[in-house]
Amino acid sequence: MRDENPIRTLGEYSKPSHEGYKNTSELVVGNNVVHLRSDTIWERMRLRLFYFFLCDQASNWLKRLSAGSITTWEDLTTRFLAQFFPLGRIAKLCNDIMMFQQQHGESLSEAWTRFKDLLQKVPHHGIDLWLQIQIFYDRIDDSLKRTIDFSGGGQLRRMSSERAWIAIEELA
């Protein structure tokens, strides 16, 4: 039986893929009764708990919304992100990530921390883990690349994304 989620190396991500995305399962409807799926229950719980994780402007924004105006988690996240992460800001922050460059005299630890800070500024950046690692690796000097390669027991490209992240994290 084929593994549905095989471990892939960073080099494999650059190869074309013909695999599509699986459709999500649909609600089962029978005898006019809709069976609740566990993800429906989780969605309602997330909607109710979201308020408790907000403070300051975000909390005030949510309080100002009219009751019943948000009915799904997707609607809430879309409206929240539109309010607090306008497209211009997202574009600039994503560009900062894509154009990351190690600064002169910056250590691996400092560069890695700065790169992770950029990623954290846009938690919904949509950049896959393998590409995050590739961006960082491509933009550091050769001596740091050799250090990372040596610590991982070989070339970074031969590691899985998760293993490469851990290798850099441990070195930094």
15 domain-assigned: no
- Helix then strand count (H, E) for the chain reads 9, 2
> Into how many domains does the chain fold?
2
The model's pLDDT over 120-130, given as tens digits with 9 standing for 90+, comes to 988 878 899 99
Q: Judge if 53 and 94 occupy the same domain.
A: no
| Reported pTM | 0.60
The model's pLDDT over 100-143, given as tens digits with 9 standing for 90+, comes to 999 999 999 999 999 999 999 888 788 999 999 999 999 999 99
9 domain-assigned: no
Q: Point out which residues pair with 33 in neighbouring strands.
A: 30
Backbone angles phi, psi at 66, to 5 degrees: -70, 145
